[in-house]
Amino acid sequence: MSAPVSAPARSDPLLPKVLIVLTAVTGIVDAVAFLGLGQVFTAFMTGNILFLGFAAAGGEGLTPLGSLTALAGFAVGAVAGSRLGAATAARPRRWLLASAVIASALLAAAALAAIGLPTVRGDLVPRHYAVIALTALAMGVRSATMWRLGASLNTTLVTGTLVTWIRESAAGGGTPDTSQPYRVAALVAVFAGAAIGTLLLRAGLTTALSVAAAGVLAGIGGYVAHPASRRTPSA
């Protein structure tokens, strides 16, 4: 099995900026999922596992089938993203571009499926589940790509980013490095993405998901088009 492309990811000055954009997109996606699709998450899977635990213990106001749909979709997307990376390891730029196109296409499909679909105010209808599944598939593909790239910032693991920032700070007894400002920016990006996603929901699910699709394609696609990506060797 090929190893993650860790060294270039840490030395490439452009990649952390791209990851911050993708982290903001994550905030948008989960704002849409939680506020518009029945209190589920389609990028941050920890929340869904917690919701399922709450539901199993009799917690009210939850949509366990929605959380299960998101978990299943994310897992399938992660498998597909991992296999895509393994199959195209010799051509990393093609792999990254293919991943961006697939994730964006899935988000665009979710946006189309959501045309005229209201945000959840009661029970979910079949189209809500379709939007959840498509969005989670997209986030699974994208997350697997970021993990395989070996990026120093994680676009979906906010707790890990926060702990790493504290651990490597002077207050935490560490030695701050050049990645510290990017970690702070990633935390801000999640906050900003969540706020933007909430505002976009006022224009409807389709608008918010379309912006997320454009953000993924612009972030990864823009990186692939930049000469810096050509310095990323195969795993």
pLDDT (tens digit per residue) in 41-85: 999 898 899 999 999 998 887 889 999 999 999 999 999 999 998
pTM: 0.83
pLDDT at position 34 is 93
SS3 assignment, position 226: coil
pLDDT (tens digit per residue) in 150-186: 655 555 566 666 666 666 666 666 666 666 777 788 8
Judged against a pLDDT cut of 70, whether residue 92 lies above it is answered with yes
**Residue 99 CB-density burial (10 A; 0-12 exposed, 13-18 middle, 19+ buried):** buried
d(CA 28, CA 190): 8
> From the centroid of its chain, how far is CA 55?
25
d(CA 111, CA 77): 17
Centre a 10 Å sphere on the Cβ of residue 136 and count the other Cβ atoms it contains: 30
Where residue 4 falls among pLDDT bands split at 50, 70, 90? very low
pLDDT at position 103 is 94
Where residue 199 falls among pLDDT bands split at 50, 70, 90? very high
Place of tokens 């701050």: 176
Copy the structure tokens of residue 220: 């990864």
Q: Which spans in the chain are helix H? A: 6-11, 15-36, 45-56, 64-87, 92-113, 126-149, 158-167, 180-201, 205-225
SS3 assignment, position 186: helix
d(CA 108, CA 215): 11
Helix axes 15-36, 126-149, angle to 10 degrees: 160
Copy the structure tokens of residue 115: 């045309």
Average pLDDT value for residue range 120-130 = 88
- Separation of first and last alpha carbons in the chain: 9
8-231: CATH number: 1.20.1250
Judged against a pLDDT cut of 80, whether residue 94 lies above it is answered with yes
Judged against a pLDDT cut of 50, whether residue 233 lies above it is answered with no
